Chains A and B, each alone.
Chain A
């Protein structure tokens, strides 16, 4: 009986592993065929390599730009702006949500304004930010933050309100102050919502920063894209896109890591 089950379990594990391997293999195959197809199409002139570039050109440019240091500079500027914009938007948004939770009066007063701000396309405020904060990285970070700020405030505030009142009752029955109830029950109970907001905010921060760099046009990956576009160097545009894709994925993965740490015990 026992050995039969052991054998079946071994079979089952083997099948599961094989399946995972198959999926990985197909994923890699798709990636490879994309690049090979792109390269072939470019060298066979099915597509115009001047417009669509090719993997080998992007790679060559990558090496050149790494050596002259300009790529590292642009990438680190953008990364710095994005991370800061992301953190600012998330923390300020959560902080505002906490204030709204604290004061129901204020939250009702501000409700229509929050709705207006939320429906507003934030990138349209770009020119005003640049006029107000100067054409530098401050306004770009502000853009990255602003784009996620309002939605974070709304979503997190709703999460705070939807926390089961009985958790707060438990806290209160021990004589907890409002502050203790907030940090002991409301805040930790909202972790799952906060994490999903983080995930959305990663994407939003990138949008804000890239658009900001388009407008300011001084440095960064967004600047590389707009510059490459203006001088018809699409290899440069492609290179920027590939780097953005890689970095954005890394940021997203980091958030998932935080998620696993924070909410592994919930059911």
Chain B
């Protein structure tokens, strides 16, 4: 069943002396529980696309339907993880992860239970009274994940969540994020510039063209791989051929410019 539908979506930015079309002709249908990755050259409109789906931006043309309803403005139904963690430095970890709930007016302790539970799952329950500056990059990203999941959103938007981390931390977090999202049965869209990460984590990979970004090609990951932990996918024999297929396609994009 179509959970999220993008129909002929276009976004053009206007400034006084420029008109920039960031994305155009985007047609995409995502089913409930699917994990989709979007890759493409930098500046091709990946962040713009996520902002459109989150409701922070409105499409210039076309429609975006979530559960059949047009998206008007951001709602806690959709969780959005920005390119950096953007934890609030003046709040403790505890206050950071309950920020969304507080905004929604949910301050009862049973409403906060999920947030603490997630923090515990991600191994940070001893950090509740700490401030973000006292945590490492990987820990901060995990806190940002908890903050996003705390409101129990149905759709997750992840904008290059691992790009600022060292390789080892990144591989570990991929596993952690993947299993957390899968156990909670969420639908997720991950933006990344790392082909390996896209293939390791998702059911489908969407490749965007140079700006104005439109869908160049879609790659499906075999079902048994899509169910595996990202780290194991990277070790699988089918991984490398798939990687090369995507790589070639990206290379041909480079040549076009």
Contacts and interface: CB of A to CB of B under 8 A. Distances in A.
A266 B134 CA distance: 10
B76 interface: yes
Interface residues of B, number: 24
Interface in B69-89: 73-76, 78-80, 82, 84, 86, 88-89
Interface in B102-118: 103-104
A184 interface: yes
B90 interface: yes
A267 B99 contact: no
Contacts, number: 62
B100 A265 contact: no
B90 A175 contact: no
Contacts of B54: 173
Contacts of A13: none
B3 interface: no
13 contacts: A164-B86, A169-B82, A170-B88, A171-B99, A173-B74, A173-B100, A174-B76, A175-B74, A188-B90, A189-B90, A191-B90, A265-B89, A266-B89
A265 B92 CA distance: 9
A184 B99 contact: yes
A174 B106 CA distance: 12
B111 to A, nearest CB: 14
A167 B133 contact: no
Interface in A179-198: 180, 184-185, 188-189, 191
B202 interface: no
Nearest to B84: A166
Contacts of B90: 188-189, 191, 263, 265-266
Contacts of B80: 169-170, 173
Nearest to A264: B131
Nearest to B82: A166
Interface of A: 164, 166-167, 169-176, 180, 184-185, 188-189, 191, 263, 265-267
B206 to A, nearest CB: 22
B151 interface: yes
A174 B88 CA distance: 14
B167 to A, nearest CB: 25
Contact of A173 (B79, B84, B89, B133): B79
Interface of B is mostly: loop
A170 B99 CA distance: 9
Contacts of A167: 86, 88
A175 B56 contact: no
A166 B89 CA distance: 13
A175 to B, nearest CB: 5
A170 B82 contact: yes
A162 to B, nearest CB: 15
A266 B82 CA distance: 21
Interface in B59-76: 73-76
Contacts of B79: 173
Nearest to B148: A173
B84 A171 contact: no
Given A166-B82, A267-B133, A174 B103 contact: yes
B241 to A, nearest CB: 38
B75 A170 contact: no
Ranked 7 nearest A-B pairs via Cβ: A174-B100, A265-B131, A173-B80, A267-B133, A174-B103, A176-B103, A188-B90
A189 B89 CA distance: 8
A175 B76 contact: yes
A169 B90 CA distance: 17
A166 B75 CA distance: 16
